[in-house]
Amino acid sequence: MEGQDETCDPVSLNAEDPLYILYTSGTTGKPKGIVHTQGGYLTHITTTHSWVFDVKPDRDVYWCAADIGWVTGHSYIVYGPLANRTTGVMYEGAPNYPEWDRLWKIVEDYKVTIFYTAPTAIRAFMKQGEEYPGRHDLSSLRVLGTVGEPINPEAWMWYHRVIGGERCPIVDTWWQTETGGIMITPLPGVTPTKPGSATFPFPGIAADVVDDQGNSVPLGEGGYLVITRPWPGMARTIYGDPQRFVDTYWSRFPGKYFPGDGAKRDKDGYFWLLGRVDDIMLVSGHNISTTEVESALVSHPAVAEAAVVGRRDEVTGQAIAAFVILKAGVEGDQALIDELRDHVAKTLGPIAKPKSIVFTPDLPKTRSGKIMRRLLKDISEQRQLGDVTTLANEEVVEEIAKMAAAAPQEE
């Protein structure tokens, strides 16, 4: 800008001075102001950005297609890439304007080599079919990444095949606002991947899966994800409420950080994230993960995206309510509902069969792409709807509520 110096001298700060406060958990209740500090956070995101994406500053064009206002934007659009002197793309618009090939046109135009986005976005692209990415030359891509929620194997394979041309490693990253940076992830070209698994903790991160008493569970079993020793990018407190910080993250398993997520490790030790433990349903005495049911639904060729919640049921304690977005050109009817129920039963077992399935054009999502299952639970239990101000598509909630009220229930 005219009249401004070309250089800007940095201000020297202590490692533990605050860097920023970012509010989180708009999907679950009162937002929490997460405090990140200078030295540890910058160390964490600089290292993870370099290693997880195999960044070569002299030749890569890196694009994290997230919203800059949430933590992925902070860590992997701003601080990490700038600290690593990376050539980056920033895009503020919608992925479907003027058409659904908007992102793929940007990849082609700027010869993007590293692309990082959310499973929600991938499933939205899947719904539109392969025509849109097929219009563009995506051969510049060499590493693909996902962030924000567990990616189901069906979406992973579509991403690998259609966007990556079956040549790009996919880094499925688990982390959250409170951890500052990536915690569980493959390293491209190093870690053998399994579609849908975040694989192993990043070097230096110590993670475990424990039972109700905090004891490590055997391989092949599920439980609560915990981090068992400190790491550089960890949040230091909740702004103005340090006791809430202790109560929320450190009281459930003393001496361990509990992020609120469930996980399982397979026989090879690979981590599979199961989503928030709040999203574990208890159906006739069986613990069923919403993520597992959603993944089973999306594995059906007619389904583009699904969200599942548990709602109160007088007989089974909780009943499974599913909200399904169909792929373009697919008509939803009772026959398809029956087919989807049977598909879930065959995939996971009869106990996991949804009691209700509602076909919907969209799901309530925050700007970061997370599905607000709390609102879907409100709709399923016919309660007054909670706060919708953090939604990117507020108008869809009433439409879903009307569809749910008219949806048939399985007897």
CATH number, domain 284-406, options 1.10.730.10, 3.30.300.30, 3.20.20.20, 3.40.50.300: 3.30.300.30
Q: CA–CA separation, 171 vs 192, rounded Å? A: 10
Return mean pLDDT, the chain: 89
**Any idea which architecture 18-275 has in CATH?**
3-Layer(aba) Sandwich (3.40)
- Flag whether the pTM goes above 0.85: no
Mean pLDDT of 115-137: 91
Three-state secondary structure of 291-324: HHHHHHHHCCCCEEEEEEEEEEECCCEEEEEEEE
- Dihedral sign, Cα of residue 215, residue 219, residue 222, residue 228: positive
Q: Which two tokens stand for residue 64?
A: 């994290």
Q: Angle 350-352-357 (CA atoms, 0-180°, nearest 5)?
A: 110
- Asked if 129 and 328 count as a contact pair (C-beta separation under 8 A), the reply is yes
Lowest mean pLDDT among 3-7, 117-121, 379-383: 379-383
Higher-scoring residue by pLDDT: 221, 188 = 188
**Do 162 and 130 touch, CB atoms closer than 8 A?**
yes
All CATH 3.30.300.30 domain ranges in the chain, comma separated: 284-406
Whether residue 3 has pLDDT greater than 50: yes
Residue 234, token pair as written in the block: 């960890």
- Greater model confidence, 350 or 409: 350
Tokens of 195: 């579609």
Q: Are strands 18-24 and 32-37 parallel, antiparallel or unpaired?
A: antiparallel
Give the pair of three-digit tokens for residue 238.
């909740």
The enclosing H or E element of 41 equals: helix 39-52
Nearest to 120 by CA among 92, 96, 152: 152
Burial class of 330 by CB neighbour count within 10 A (0 to 12, 13 to 18, 19+)? middle
Query: Strand 261-265 relative to strand 222-227: parallel, antiparallel, unpaired?
Result: antiparallel
Dihedral, 49, 52, 53, 56 alpha carbons, nearest 10: 70
Which pair of tokens denotes residue 186? 């493959």
Cβ atoms of residues 180 and 235 within 8 Å: yes
Report how far residue 23's alpha carbon sits from residue 46's, in angstroms, rounded to the nearest whole number: 22
Q: For 349-376, write each residue's pLDDT tens digit.
A: 888 899 889 898 888 877 666 777 778 8
Q: For residue range 299-350, list pLDDT tens digits in order.
A: 999 999 898 988 887 777 788 989 999 998 898 889 999 999 999 999 888 8
Count of Cβ atoms closer than 10 Å to residue 374 Cβ:
19
What are the start and end residues of each CATH 3.40.50.12780 domain in the chain? 18-275
* Least confident span in 14-18, 296-300, 322-326, 383-387: 383-387
